[in-house]
A and B are shown apart, each in its own frame.
Chain A
Amino acid sequence: MKGSGNECDVVGGNLNALDGLESSFLRDNSQLVEAYENIDWKSVQSLNALVGSVEQVVIKYKNPNEKIKRAIETIYLQLLQRYPLFFGYWKRFTAVQYQLNGLAKSIATLGKAVEAFPNSLELWCDYLNVLCANNAGEVELIRKNFRIAKDRVGYQFLSHPFWDKYIDFETKHEAWDHLSDIYAELVTIPIHQYAKYGTAYKSFLISANSPKKEPDLEVKLRNTQKIVSLIWPFESKIKQSFFNITPVSEEELSNWDEYLKFLTHNQLKHSFSSKLIKATFERCLVPCLYYEHYWIMYADWSEQVQPLDLHTNIELYQRGMSMLPMNLRQFRFKFLTFLQKNYRNEKDYIFLIFGQTISSIIKLYPYEALLLTEYLAMLRRHRCGTSIDEDDKVIYDQLTSYSKELESAIKNYINHTVDKNALLQCLINDLNLPIIVVELIKTTWLVLKNTMQTRKYFNFYSKNRLFQSSVAFWLTYYKFEKSNQNFARLNKFVNDLGVEIFLPLTIMNDILNDYRSFYLANSNAGVYQTVRNGDDGGSEFHMMDPILLIQLKLNNPQWYPGRYKQSLDWHRSREFRENGHPNILDDKPQISNTVLDQTTKIFGNRQLPLPTFRNLERINQPLKHDDIFSKYYLDTNR
């Protein structure tokens, strides 16, 4: 089975459902084997073919053995775990279950379906139908399910089939109190057939069965009518209310966007109920499941209307995180911000959730070093958030133990002895290791004020190749030496940039510029003199100086003073061979004993030597392109 359409890991998804089947069976049903083994998770045709061939098997074998049954079930479960919103497949699965395993199993399957896809009107109607038809005696169980269904689908614009069923059910059981409650709520819900229920309610009220009166009915109905006419322009434009793998059309997307904006922005003005808005979001997220934009809108709205309901909001975020494709980050990072903002309200709980979330996001984006920074900030906030009025010792103890925690995490990571139970240690990888080291160093230096130890850390870690190109590490080092005004070390540091230390060019440029400013502001002519003279016995010019020559290193990090002077074999250098046509190495024909740089005066009447040449034979050869991409990238990766 190849491909992985939706990235969430499917339980049992990696199992081969066909394992253990007899080879004669596999031979006879090659269509199924092929459909299963070559499935393309991103193609509806491929999925349909698979389901089709499974059904063929079901038709073909009236009484299949257990192995076959298990295989069929596994195939369906794998499919539906990946795409729980395909209600059609749920229905077909139910039918197949009925045929293979009988009624009870098929009811249970429908039960699973409404659990996996709780906003599906069709599935709920089917489920309730089956329950009513087959378990008619269990009134309370059915009623419970009706109530659950009401919360899930009752506010959907086209939910009248459900309501009809519900009213039927209660009427049949002559539960007039319940029916009265249903009607009372129903007439306030803006659904497509609101008028029908208005009339029905009126008749019910004047019938003998009605337990109470409803004086404001007309007002309520008018209000509902008004809301229906407000949302009708949007509702009428919804063409695709179901889930599909293919992208949703632009019109559809913009309609949902406008619809939801209209609802959320006018909630107070038109007193839209939160249940309605929630139901609309949930409906939108069926076709638009993979669109981050709507998840963000949903979360924004939810945070706004129920800021204190942490658990609901967190649940919403977690659902979105598990659904959205991996490449969409905004929603995931928004969740982190949400948690940071709400930390104060429930510290331990949020800290726990924050850790879990960071850990799952780091798995998705191991390159994103920022994530660990966020976690460390949260960790420090959690561990050391004592008020500044506390006793000094208490605060320092906290910070010391915090820095010890960091240090042991780093040590364990480097020694490959990670403690799986310690979250912090599990979060570290080669790419974000410098981040935690920087945090340790910053704590040691700025908080605990231990300069000796700080320098030791810098020395130790700068030798590790993982730190060679870490911006955070080297910027901290730079700041540290700046605060010590150690010009000798700073000079060495800027010299090493681009040679030993590889940072992004813009960062190196910033450092060079900043160092120059810092040097001018904190040094003087006397100090400058000593840099210029150097102590390695080299010529004065060949020392990098922080005022003039440093500027020549801008945008050219590998430059060093005297670089162009010292090349005897200049014609072999890359600069010369590429001259005039970057990336084309050309060994140009040349006069090797040229007199160009001498005036004729010095020759007097002496004849100039006969010319000798270099690369003359290459004059007509085709040019050589230096294909860096394949040479250094493709070849090394091959």
Chain B
Amino acid sequence: MDKYNLIINDETFSSLTLKVADYPRTLVHWENFLNYLITKASPLNKSLEPSIYKLIKNTYESLLFHFPYLENYYVDYALFEYKLGNISRVHKIYQQGLRKCNDRSLLLWISYLKICNEVVINQRQLFNLYERAEHYIGLHFLSGEFWELYLEQIQERCLTKERYFVILRKVLEIPLHSFSRFYSRWLQCIDDIRDVSQLIRLAPKEDLQKKMKVDVNYQGRKGPYLTEAKKLMRKFTKELYMVVQYQVLEIYNLFESKLSIHYYCSQETLISSEEIATWNAYIDYTTKLKIDSLTEVNFQRALLPLAHYENIWIRYAEWLIDWKEDLVSAKNVLMNGLTMSHKKAAIIKLLCSTLCKLRDYELLELILGKKEEMYVTDIEGIDEFETFWDYLQFQIFCCNSRLQTRYEVARSDQLLPDNVLDIIITRLSCGSLKKGQELLLTSLLQLQSKTNTDMIEKRIFRHIIDAKWEFYLQNGLFWSLYSQLIFLDPSKSYLDRRRHIVKNIWKNATNYEGTVLPALRRFCQLYLPEDIDTLEEIFEKSLDQRIIN
């Protein structure tokens, strides 16, 4: 029996695969399974059986499909391929990982660049990668290691030192955890200068002239002149150091020192509220610094531990909308958030709004359609009033828009498309089984406009009365809302409305005397104080009548 069959016919293999299949979202099962495979397949080298290779590869792929933010497994996976000599696969895996992390993963970049240092011969290609990395993660608080790598490569591979100085000079300004070691490099550079003319390596000639009053072409006695110039250079460096140190300490004391989790955990890991609060405050702080690439990298950093919390996604999208006015990116962030976050209601809400603004009505209708399917098939199973209410609003909006594009008509009796109305009625029919029914009824009243009162009355309030849904009829709020609906109907005269309320609605309500009267009293107090006495009379009469009967 070959090695492959040995592995897959093992009992452990079947128990591990079963667990993975049953609980695909439990990370530890995947880890056990992978460890098992790697151990059994070792040693890993070019002679690995293709079938085993395929098995391991697929396992990695599936693991990363379920947990796209597990940075270290990309590294693991790439190293696995590296051991087998599949360099192009290594590149692919790293790039795939980076794409998932919005290109802003420090861990992946450093590990990737380390490998590239060895395998990429073409300098231009290599430095292109470094430049990309600089763009994405250069301002990361912990990116000191990356800059060290960068500087080393520049030193090794470049013939002249200009690039080295340019890069080092920029690093000096970045608030990094390990900022001071770059200053010692810089001071060393100053020390190494042997001639006034060499000063232009560190700063442009005009600046030297203007800000330091140093003439690089000085022809006099150069020794003391150079010493003086270096002194000035060190002074600038010291001032820069003070400023950056101030920033680093602020960031470190307020935030970085309080953050302990810098990686993706898993679906079931709860993050402490202190940690979340720190991230929130950190994001706030970064946002207000107004350095966009820093803000983006910090959002991405926060997304790793907090991927399953909706708040971070919302904040990211809101920042893109508000500060960057970049709706398309916001949409993408929200779409990602929709797949990762545990709670989705607020994300969907913001997403739908963004789609409206983007005029992407196709996608909007697609999302609404998906939700509608759920509501039609399983309204009992879904219990989130907010989501439901959002769905209704957008659905009505879309429906209005469709009507409007087809023919410009005043829709006198059209409040809602029939299918939506059916869903509402189905939901209302659940009575006490669902939360937020009173809220739904109240909210429906907000849809009242110039022309649709009759329709709301008939299709909802009369419907409930005809269907004898005691849950509502016993509730004073129902009657009070009904009275309110009629009272605010702009299409009827005051007396018509008043008579309708007194003669029809309250008459009906007397059947539920005890429970509904207080709510109606409140209604009267607010809208119809002139009928308080009539209200009391009607209810008293009906009580007397009942006693007689």
Residues of A within 8 A of B (CB): 340, 343-344, 376-378, 380-381, 384-388, 392, 395-396, 399, 446-449, 479, 483-485, 514, 516-518, 520-528, 532, 541, 545, 547-549, 551-552, 562-565, 570, 575-576, 579-581, 588-591, 594-597, 599-601, 603-613, 616, 619
Contacts and interface: CB of A to CB of B under 8 A. Distances in A.
Nearest to B286: A579
B19 interface: no
B350 interface: yes
Given A381-B533, A594-B173, A597-B292, A449 B494 contact: yes
Contact of B288 (A377, A579, A611): A579
Given A605-B160, A610-B236, A616-B242, A377 B397 contact: no
Contacts of B495: 388, 392, 395-396
Contacts of A552: 318, 321-322
B361 to A, nearest CB: 7
Interface stretch (B100-108, B267-275, B485-493): B485-493
Interface of B: 131, 134-135, 138-139, 160, 162-163, 165-167, 169-170, 173-174, 200-204, 207-208, 211-212, 236, 239-240, 242-243, 246-247, 250, 254, 281, 284-285, 288-294, 318, 321-323, 325, 350, 353-354, 356-357, 359, 361, 389, 392-394, 396-397, 400-401, 403-405, 443, 446-450, 487-488, 490, 493-495, 498-499, 502-503, 525-527, 529-534, 536
B354 A589 contact: no
Enumerate the 5 nearest inter-chain pairs by beta-carbon distance, A residue then B residue, closest first.
Answer: A525-B401, A524-B400, A520-B393, A605-B162, A377-B529
25 contacts: A344-B536, A377-B525, A377-B529, A385-B531, A385-B532, A385-B533, A446-B487, A446-B488, A483-B488, A520-B397, A524-B400, A525-B356, A526-B404, A579-B285, A589-B242, A589-B243, A589-B246, A595-B170, A596-B294, A600-B131, A600-B170, A603-B166, A605-B163, A607-B169, A619-B242
Nearest to B398: A525
A570 B397 contact: no
Nearest to A612: B211
Contact of B289 (A449, A516, A522, A579): A579
A446 B484 CA distance: 12
A516 B443 CA distance: 12
A518 B447 contact: yes
B203 A608 contact: yes
B450 A483 contact: yes
A384 B529 CA distance: 9
The majority secondary structure among interface residues of chain B is helix
Nearest to A483: B490
B292 A610 contact: no
A600 B133 CA distance: 12
Most chain-B Cβ atoms within 10 A of its Cβ — which of A385, A521, A548, A576?
A521
B534 A387 contact: yes
Contacts of A575: 288
A297 to B, nearest CB: 22
A448 B443 CA distance: 27
Contacts of B447: 517-518, 521-522
A382 B114 CA distance: 88
Given A520-B397, A524-B397, A576-B288, A384 B530 contact: yes
Nearest to B356: A547
Nearest to A598: B170
A532 B401 contact: no
B211 A610 contact: yes
Nearest to B525: A377
A96 B345 CA distance: 81
B401 to A, nearest CB: 4
A387 B294 CA distance: 71
A86 B417 CA distance: 75
A548 B354 contact: yes
Contacts of B290: 564, 570, 576
Nearest to B416: A521
Contacts of B525: 377
Contact of B139 (A447, A564, A581, A596): A596
A532 B318 CA distance: 18
Contacts of B254: 580-581
Nearest to B212: A610
Contact of A588 (B208, B246, B322): B246
A607 B135 contact: no
A365 B233 CA distance: 71
Given A524-B400, A599-B138, A612-B211, A607 B323 contact: no
Contact of B134 (A589, A591, A597, A600): A600
A213 to B, nearest CB: 45
A526 B401 contact: yes
Contacts of A597: 291-293
Contacts of B401: 524-526
A591 B243 contact: yes
Nearest to B135: A599
Most chain-A Cβ atoms within 10 A of its Cβ — which of B131, B135, B532?
B532
A611 B239 contact: yes
A588 B248 CA distance: 12
Given A521-B397, A547-B356, A607-B166, A616 B131 contact: no
A525 B165 contact: no
A344 B393 CA distance: 45
Contacts of B292: 597
A600 B162 CA distance: 12
A588 B285 CA distance: 14
A608 B361 contact: no
Contacts of B318: 552
Nearest to B139: A596
Nearest to B389: A517
Contacts of B450: 483-485
A580 B447 CA distance: 43
A395 to B, nearest CB: 7
A580 B288 CA distance: 9
Most chain-B Cβ atoms within 10 A of its Cβ — which of A381, A518, A549?
A381
Contacts of B291: 596-597
A384 B532 CA distance: 11
B497 to A, nearest CB: 9
A548 B322 CA distance: 10
A603 B174 CA distance: 17
Contacts of A604: 166
Given A449-B493, A605-B160, A606-B166, 20 more contacts: A377-B529, A392-B495, A520-B394, A521-B397, A522-B400, A524-B400, A524-B401, A525-B356, A526-B401, A552-B322, A588-B246, A595-B170, A596-B174, A596-B294, A597-B292, A597-B293, A607-B166, A608-B204, A610-B211, A611-B240
B498 A388 contact: yes
A590 B532 contact: no
Contacts of B288: 575-576, 579
Contacts of A381: 529-530, 532-533
B287 to A, nearest CB: 8
A517 B536 contact: no
Contacts of B449: 483, 485, 522
Contacts of B353: 547-548, 551
B60 to A, nearest CB: 33
Contacts of B536: 344
Given A521-B393, A521-B396, A551-B350, A446 B494 contact: yes
Contacts of A520: 393-394, 396-397
Contact of A525 (B284, B359, B448): B359
B283 to A, nearest CB: 12
Contacts of B201: 607
Contacts of B162: 605, 607
B173 A525 contact: no
Contact of A610 (B138, B166, B208, B526): B208
A584 to B, nearest CB: 12
Nearest to B161: A605
Nearest to B253: A580
Nearest to A526: B404
Contacts of B321: 548-549, 552
